[in-house]
Amino acid sequence: MTMTQRIRRLHAGLAGAAILAMLAAMWAGWIRLGWSWPAIQANLPANHGPLMVGGFLGTLISLERAVAVKKWWAYLAPIFSALGGFALICFSVIPRAEPEGMLFSQKPVPIPDQVGTGFFQIMHCRPETPWC
């Protein structure tokens, strides 16, 4: 097998991994929308964003960059990105707990009345805002 054939197989494998991550992310998105489809693993709907960004886009964009660079080390990024997407699909990764006071958290953040109408106060969740 020549080097060109090996590189083409690597490209096809990484592109296939990106497509698999995209399909799993779409599946997770449909579950999040309320479709009654079976989940491949328990936390698949929670992994919709990481699968789409890291698994699909990360693999595809870094593969494109690796092809342009034409160096062996450039292929490490799409390989590890594809492995991360595969891990999100196959293994039940427990989502990290959101610290209290994060943007758009479930509990409104108490903000004292002395704080002005700056960016900090506007961006935090308040009981009178519709998204809380």
- The answer to which of 36-40, 46-50, 56-60, 123-127 has the lowest mean pLDDT is 123-127
Domain ranges of the chain: 3-90, 99-132
pLDDT tens column, 5-22: 988 999 999 999 999 999
Reported pTM: 0.66
pLDDT digits (tens, 9 = 90+) for 24-35: 999 988 888 888
Provide DSSP, the chain. --HHHHHHHHHHHHHHHHHHHHHHHHHHHHHHHT--PPPSSTTTGGGHHHIIIIIIIIHHHHHHHHHHHT-GGGGHHHHHHHHHHHHHHHS-PPPPPPPTT-TT-SSPPP--TTS-SSHHHHHS--TTSTT-
